[in-house]
Amino acid sequence: CTDDEDLPALSGEITCNMGYTCDTVSCCVDVEDLGRTMEVSLSIDHCNRKLTLQLERLSEEISLVDYTWGTLMRHELVGVLRTEIVIYNLAAENSYMVYFNILVCLEANGTCSVNEVILDGRKIIKDICDRSKENEFSLGTWLEEKNSPKYGGYLLEWAEVQLKQDLKIDQFLKTAPCYVYYFYNYNGCENADVKVIPIDHHSSYSCFISENCQSVQCCVNLPTLNTKVTTVFRIIQCRNNLRLEIDNLVHDIKLSEVSYGNLYTFGLLGIVNIKYMIETPSLDTFSLTLNISVCMEPNNDCEFEIEIFKDVVVDQQSCDQAPGFLNPSFSLEDWLVSRNTDLGNITDITANDLMTELGLSDYMGWSNICDVNLMPYNGSVNGWKNECTNITAPFKLNESVVCHITETCDRVTCCAEIPVLKRYIYASVNLRTCDYLLDVDIEENHFEFNLINYEWGKQEKVKIHGVLQLVYAIHHIPSLKLFSMDMKIKACFEGNSSVCLYDYTVMENSQLLYSECDPTVERAPFKDKVVTENIGDTFQYNYSLSSGFDSSKYTVTVDLQVCYLADGFCKTYVLVDYTDFACSSLKRKKRRRRATTEPKVSDFKTGMRSLIKRKASSKEIKEYIDEVKKYENNLVQQNLKGVVLPDTDTKTGSKSAMKALGWNNPATIPLSVDTKASESVTGGDVIQSMLGATFDIPGRTNQAFVVGQGLTNAGVRLLGQKLANMTIGDIENLLDVKNVDPVEVSKLIDELRDLFKALLSEFLTEIVGGDSDFFQSEDLDMMGEIPLPSRSKTVEYGSKMVIASIVTLHFKVGAGIYFGVDLRVGVNIMGMKAIGEITPYTGILVYGEVGIGILIIFANLRLEGYIMELRFPTRGELIFKKFPLDVGIVMDLEMIPIRIKLKVLITLEIIWSITLYKATLWEYSSPSITQNILNNRKDEKDKTSPVITEFIDKPGTERKRSTANCLVRQILDQDYTEPQFEISIHAGDDRSGVRLYLDVGTVPGGRDVLNTRELAGPATILSEVLKASGVPLYFTVTAENDSGQKSKASCDLSTYDITPPGGRFDEDYKTTSNPSVIKASVTVYEDSELVETKVAMGYGKDIWGEQIVPWQDVELDQSNINHITAGNWYM
């Protein structure tokens, strides 16, 4: 055992050995009076919940399921060899504490000659148990071996008892089994649909499901074992707990340790299994899958399976970040009295029971997360280990606390000793200003807060069940780009008292700095409660108020910013730097503001009434009337200004004038009833051939235009003649009237390019970044063998016997050695690997042969034995898919103890022997024995990460250029139900290939929107419908080479919009007597910038209402209601 925990010293009469698993101890006791030694061993099997004690040949198994922790167990061998054992279950440390004594007593009522302490409170760590193993037991095979039949699915009583003993399952089964309510299930979860496969087992179970869908308890019938078992699946989110039960087999898992999306199995010897999967489709929901199966045969051959949940989405529980005690009336003093102890006599057992009682183990590890004697806390000065050179360490700390300020100056971690728990408590505060996040940790309990709208100066608390507390308040000083923080660590053990047993002040007006962020990324400022007043264009006066731990005081910060217009820079002077002021106890009366009665020139009637009401002088009234006249004259002058008509104007614009030309309009094609009229226009045929031919509809070939079809060939001919008859000026006017904008044509071409890139990107994503194994399955291997004959050296003895002069009988025996070499070479095309393999071999050959011949033709029967054949396969590989090359060599030793072959041969014996026919009748080979001798690979690691350089969307232009980051844009003019965005990056590596992965989050560096999506290439169009809409999105691209080195680049979208604009129209009045003026107001709601806004009026709905006023461009102001008037439109 490599555990360095001290063991008690033993006398010379006993020697012991602690097993390498640290859960077994074996001792040899020398009994001098008996002239012999005795063996004693103790072993704890946590997974099977049993203790095995062996005294010489007497072995006894004790179930830990029924054992009462802390009670004394005595065992003996005929009164001479005795043991005393006490075990405590330290659940908070995931270990057992064992006391073990060995005694040798040769007097019935006298003292014992040997009384040795073997284990004195030794802590034995509990094994990690694999409860996912499949059932390896076969009931059918067992019944066949025992020759025991089943009657109606049940076993005979003796067979049932024997089966439980063979399975060693008794200790896990409750003595009083549950009860199956046949044909009844209580299902409080409306999304759950419980069913069983096959359906004829509907009476084999009954289940109770809670209304929040997070607790399931079922009673499952096992007729073969003549019992029923209780299965439990329960999520207790506010205690970070997932509980699984199968009768006495109970397993608690921390939710923070569950890998979401993985399928887990918790089983009782593979017979009863709970299979579950937990996923988190959103931050506030779970997706649950839960099945219960009963299998009495191996290979997942189950009798029945109960499906409880299948992708059922349930709401997560809302937990308080500062909860109270689990038992509100808990008192440490009363608890210690009930255990006959006090604060001065706390043992490991008492501390463990206290943590379990208070539920602290829900968020505490099995051992200390931190230690004041280890990194990074060792070597502290006055309780501080300060690695930040820009700030000084705060005041001297209590000797029980050590804190560490990181080199980045934005994080502080502390390790505080809590003697009553015999543990160190870890606390941390990290201000990640680059990500706009605040991370707060106390032990394993993690909280994350958004700094964008954070309430600075507010006292916050995070707690673990009311006992362990981290109290802090953070003040923001934006002018100096730093934070001032107050922080306390508390441990409270009285539920009805606010006084804490341990109260450590860690920081008080202590500073932390901004994180160092990428200067090329534009960042939004924090929203502080800072009052700003501008004094002209040069001075800006700022002040802020905040409260901390002391509610009777306010912290005030005042600064003055002066901007020098001549030099173009600003400088800040701090007048009051984070100073505390006591609150005044006096109450002041609020001063009433003087009403403002100055008349407005835009409202003449109201202005005159106010002047008369306050008895203004004649001079004031005259001056007011003159101001009103000036105001009205200005309005008249504004009405006389010329206005440039838009192209969409249908009353006085160029389009209206063109339409007024009628048949003379150059944009129309004049038609006659006879389209076959022969009329020749120079150049018309050439233009017609350029336009190309179309498809005519039978019966309508004489028409120039068909509705729904377009121009016919006759219409194309007329269009060609029309274009040939137009001058350059006519064509320019036509393009101008028809609003054929070259920019729009360019946009259309860009859309076609984006469509092609999207289709190509999807194809590459499927092949390269998806699950397709197209190229792998189509790999090409070229292997070849070079035949080299084997060689042998033998010594042969034989004799011949001639019968009747023509028949010869001969016998041969021989022995020798044989040797040879096998050579194979090949290449793997797609894997880019060259392979060479050489296998030298040798062995001993013995044989015996008997043959009979007539004249010179012999038939022989030969038995060959190959003994101790040794082969040395040596394989060399050269991987050339990257630089540097990977070279590897592997050598194995392969030994075949014996091979036997029985052969038949037809030979021709003249001067020498010629084999005419040879065949093997029978052969045998013993299993080969293989051992690796050499496995050496030169795998030179690439320690350089990929290089990310500037990306240009179109080489040779300056249209889209990025920094050494990525480039992202949402593709325009897409249907809002099928959005697309393009992510582009230029990353390269001179030694290996580069893979690209994309994360998308609502904060810089986040991945809460899209997590580790592999990209198909440097410019990829994705059709993902991201769940976040209307908010800024931050894109992080990770470039990873073949050696695992990574580089990251980031970019962002100011908004990601997948919703159409919304809004409403409100008329200003229902009826009017003015025939030329109609007013209405429009309100538009939209996340993105509006590109085009039009308003029309008519008799129809939606886009068809444009008979009175055609569609007009309108400019809308943000946060203002625009009144649209038709005063200048003729009705």
Model confidence over 454-493: pLDDT tens digits? 888 889 999 999 999 999 999 888 777 889 899 999 999 9
> For residue 528, what pLDDT is reported?
56
Cα–Cα distance for residue pair 777/785, rounded to 1 Å: 24
> For residue 277, what pLDDT is reported?
94
* Of the candidate ranges 133-147, 333-347, 480-494, 707-721, the one whose mean pLDDT is the lowest: 707-721
Q: What is the mean pLDDT of residues 55-75?
A: 91
> Regarding predicted confidence, which is higher, 288 or 550?
288
Percent of the chain with pLDDT over 70: 81
Identity of residue 379? G
Q: Per-residue pLDDT for 558 more than 90?
A: no
DSSP state of 765: I
> For residue 84, what pLDDT is reported?
94
* Of the candidate ranges 140-154, 772-786, 811-825, the one whose mean pLDDT is the lowest: 772-786
Residue 890, Cβ neighbours under 10 Å: how many? Answer: 16
Most confident option among 21-25, 789-793, 1051-1055: 21-25
CA 223, 225, 228, 231 dihedral sign is negative
> For residue 208, what pLDDT is reported?
92
> For residue 545, what pLDDT is reported?
64
Could you tell me the CA-to-CA distances from 988 to 993, 1042, 1048 in Å, in that order?
A: 8, 12, 12
pLDDT in tens, 585-635: 544 444 444 444 578 888 887 888 888 777 788 788 888 888 888 888 888
Identity of residue 1095? V
> For residue 118, what pLDDT is reported?
92
> Which of 258, 291, 250, 260 shows the shortest CA–CA distance to 273?
291
- Element of type H or E holding 862: strand 857-871
Q: Per-residue pLDDT for 373 more than 80?
A: yes
Could you tell me the CA-to-CA distances from 488 to 38, 413, 445, 500, 642 in Å, in that order?
A: 59, 12, 17, 12, 72
> For residue 1128, what pLDDT is reported?
43
Where in 939-975 does DSSP place strands (E)? 947-949, 967-970
Residue 737 structure tokens? 């009237």
Identity of residue 810? H
> Regarding predicted confidence, which is higher, 919 or 584?
919
> Which of 851, 852, 848, 850 shows the shortest CA–CA distance to 864?
848
Q: Average per-residue pLDDT in the chain?
A: 81
Where in 147-240 does DSSP place strands (E)? 186-187, 195-197, 205-209, 215-222, 227-236
> For residue 707, what pLDDT is reported?
66
What pLDDT band is residue 1126 in, cutting at 50, 70 and 90?
A: very low
pLDDT in tens, 238-267: 999 999 999 999 999 999 889 999 999 999
> Which of 524, 544, 442 shows the shortest CA–CA distance to 483?
544
Residue 635, Cβ neighbours under 10 Å: how many? Answer: 10
pTM of the model: 0.50
Q: What is the mean pLDDT of residues 109-129?
A: 89
DSSP labels, 473-541: EEEEETTTTEEEEEEEEEE--BTT-S--SEEEEEEEEEEEE-----TTS--PPP---EEEEEETTTEEE
DSSP labels, 1104-1123: G--SSEEEEE----TTSPEE
